[in-house]
Amino acid sequence: MSQPRRNFLKGTAAVATAVGTAQAQGTAKQAEGPVRKIHYKNGEPKNPPLFSSAVSYGNLLFIAGKGAHYEGDIGQHTKTVLEDIQKELENAGSSMEKVLKCNVYLHDLKHYAAMNEAFKGWFGDKPPVRTTIAAAGGIPGNSLIEIDVIAFI
């Protein structure tokens, strides 16, 4: 075999090895990506729940909608729901100040002003973006409000 051909084959083999190594490293990096984790308040349940209350993916945390299922007014319900959300956030290693997005679902839009009064100050000096709607047909469980949030950890 001639010297130029040997050098060409060695170079081709080196390139193939480098490409294979890069592809393997890329696959390893993909495998090391964000991890999905369910955050349980009282340990993992014995039976699978209908839905998870708090799930993180990487450093994002998703808290399921919370309602207040008792007789009361919108101020009381809003306070109860925000307290529940705060507990979920803290259980997962986050806080109210780390909330990025908040969705508020009202039983009736007439509660908007009173809900805003009860809502003030819960998220610190830099509150999250928020969407507020009145849910057609009301909130499940006869709550006057339901709130879900997305935060970071």
Q: Where are the domains of the chain?
A: 1-33, 36-152
Four-way CATH pick for 36-152: 1.10.10.60, 3.30.1330.40, 3.30.43.10, 3.30.420.40: 3.30.1330.40
pLDDT of the chain, 153 residues: tens digit per residue: 566 555 544 654 554 454 455 455 555 555 688 888 778 776 776 777 677 899 999 999 999 999 999 999 999 999 999 999 999 999 999 999 999 999 999 999 999 999 999 999 999 999 999 999 999 998 988 899 999 999 999
Tell me the β-bridge partners of 37: 56
